[in-house]
Structure 1
Amino acid sequence: MVLDNEALYDICFRTLKLTNPSFGDLNHLISATMSGVTCCLRFPGQLNSDLRKLAVNLIPFPRLHFFMVGFAPLTSRGSQGYRALTVPELTQQMWDAKNMMCAADPRHGRYLTASAMFRGKMSTKEVDEQMINVQNKNSSYFVEWIPNNVKSSVCDIPPVGLTMSSTFVGNSTSIQEMFRRVSEQFTAMFRRKAFLHWYTSEGMDEMEFTEAESNMNDLVAEYQQYQDATADEYDDDEEPAAADDQA
């Protein structure tokens, strides 16, 4: 799961309206999100999930295992929910690009798979309807060659201070934006051999850096390949496995 300070600071400034966010504020966002991801391991629910199910459902290809995460409702430390939230509101917020905790815009790519974890007293029927609604309205942002690629789970116990919440984990091809950015910054420094002597003096070889750069560029190319792929390119023998049964 990819989290970066740039996106977290952006959430603090733009959404939470904090003028001087601290690392405590950033850690509050991270802890709320990771608590939501693991809640089904710790509490009872109507439709439970676990880390194995997450991995099986979210990773269609071995190298594409970098996830974008989001949380709703976004609240600053110490604040309490000021009004009752609804499942449609949570759904709208959790899929919002502004709620993503890594600096990549999901609208610039397509979702291979996604998982939505809800907490609180709610109807699983309503959750399923909202997930179907999202996919129908935004079908261009989902690859069509992986059917039923959004998994949902519902945990009965809400987080402290909230009546309900939702956590989002998505495997989107737009994550390549982050790798492109890192690659460009690395290439600019490596070309000048900046800081390289600190590593070579400890026994590393220049070729290790070249190989790492090549691996990252290959990863970006693989994400782009699956972003551009269409259902027609896959015959019956090559189709990736659909998500397993949620029950």
Structure 2
Amino acid sequence: MPEIVQIQVGQCGNQIGTAFWQTILGEHGIDNDGIYHGDNEERIARANVYFHENAGRKYVPRVVLVDLEPGTMDAVRASPLARLFRPDNFVFGQSSAANNWAKGHYTEGAELVDDAVDVPFPRLHFFLVGFAPLTSRQSFAFRSSTVASLTQQMMDPQNMMADSDFRNGRFLTCSAIFRGKIAGKEVEEQMRRTQDRNSAYFVDWIPNNVQSSLCSVPPKGLNMSSTFVGNSTAIQDIFKRVGDQFQAMFRRKAFLHWYTGEGMDEMEFTESESNLNDLVAEYQQYQDATADDVDFDEHWGRDEEAGVDEKAGGRTEHQ
């Protein structure tokens, strides 16, 4: 059985992490004290992926909570999940970064930078993510979900969690994860039809680049759901907007002193802008590429790290 150790860092990471644990507890039938209530073995069967069951039959999250200052940890301790986490899993300092990235990178954590990997994969690892169903509480009871409607919703640009329209680029690879009592054949057929209808938005030099997965256990409160993760070159639209906004502020040296005061140099901003432009150019290169243009022996290793897996096709099922 695989075991996952979750690491929550900073105020944002710990707030998202706390919401995650509330969801996981509900799906497994575990209360805020870590005690399982229920008689459905299917719900608790795989709880040890995220939880450790101690001698008292209490399920303890396998998680490390980290922050530079104790305020975030105090908020977690004051939450309904206060008795869920092990006290020695809280790791924190005494001074806040105050939303200043440079303070954490150069001042508080300078000695750790060389020993830590900021991002495990280089370059093209920025994904478009979609989820369905997204329905208001008022209309939820009047809507029924089908595999077709879930697929349409999760791939709707308006439902993506990044302000980028995939129709402005091409998918390198993508994955669709469905949950609920759904026939695997129906999922495969729907994803095949979706790819056929949108073939212009998929690169033709990566075969079988759409993966579908199925978990028969629905999420709490829903009959079925779907999650979409796509590696699309359209994400470069966001980077272009960020670059334009950066140029406008950097020319005026707006807020620059907050970062130079923590040890940064103006040249680092210029280098970062250059890296951003290189990233946009690389996305564009693969968007325009054809099978004849790509030297797989030279580039495939890098693309696999970017989430482009030649064996991504097919379907996996989890009970």
TM-score by length of 2: 0.56
Q: Where does the alignment leave 5 or more consecutive residues of structure 1 unmatched? A: 1-26, 45-49, 51-60
Report the equivalent of 1:101.
161
Is residue 69 of structure 1 aligned with residue 138 of structure 2? no
TM superposition shift of 1:153: 0.7
CA separation of 1:176 and 1:235: change in aligned 2, threshold 3 A: closer
CA displacement 1:195-218 (0-9 Å, x = unmatched): 112222222111111111111111
CA RMSD of aligned residues (A): 2.6
1:53-132 superposed matches below 5 A: 62-76=122-136, 80-132=140-192
State the AA in 2 paired with 1:83. R
CA separation of 1:199 and 1:181: change in aligned 2, threshold 3 A: same
- Greater C-alpha radius of gyration: 2
Moved runs in structure 1, 4+ residues, more than 4 A?
244-247
How many residue pairs get aligned? The number is 196
Is residue 232 of structure 1 aligned with residue 300 of structure 2? no
Q: Tell me the secondary structure at the aligned position of residue 151 of structure 1.
A: strand
State the AA in 2 paired with 1:64. L
Q: Tell me the secondary structure at the aligned position of residue 237 of structure 1.
A: helix
Name the structure where strand makes up a greater proportion of residues: 2
Is residue 242 of structure 1 aligned with residue 310 of structure 2? yes
Report the equivalent of 1:159.
219
> How far apart are the structure 2 equivalents of 1:235 and 1:226?
12
Q: Higher mean Cα deviation, 81-90 or 191-200?
A: 81-90
**8 A Cα contact 1:81 1:162, kept in partner:** no
**8 A Cα contact 1:80 1:162, kept in partner:** no
Report the equivalent of 2:206.
146
State percent identity of aligned pairs: 65
Q: Tell me the secondary structure at the aligned position of residue 232 of structure 1.
A: coil
Q: Tell me the secondary structure at the aligned position of residue 178 of structure 1.
A: helix
> How far apart are the structure 2 equivalents of 1:109 and 1:153?
24
Q: Tell me the secondary structure at the aligned position of residue 162 of structure 1.
A: coil
Q: Tell me the secondary structure at the aligned position of residue 231 of structure 1.
A: coil
TM superposition shift of 1:119: 0.7
TM superposition shift of 1:136: 1.1
> How far apart are the structure 1 equivalents of 2:299 and 2:250?
39
State the AA in 2 paired with 1:159. P
CA separation of 1:81 and 1:154: change in aligned 2, threshold 3 A: farther
> How far apart are the structure 2 equivalents of 1:236 and 1:201?
45
Report the equivalent of 2:6.
none
TM-score by length of 1: 0.72
Choose from 174, 181, 187 the match for 2:247: 187
> How far apart are the structure 1 equivalents of 2:298 and 2:185?
33
CA displacement 1:180-231 (0-9 Å, x = unmatched): 1111101111112111122222221111111111111111111111111111
Q: Higher mean Cα deviation, 195-204 or 116-125?
A: 195-204
Q: Tell me the secondary structure at the aligned position of residue 142 of structure 2.
A: coil
Q: Which structure has the higher relative contact order (CA within 8 Å, separation 6+)?
A: 1
> How far apart are the structure 2 equivalents of 1:223 and 1:81?
42
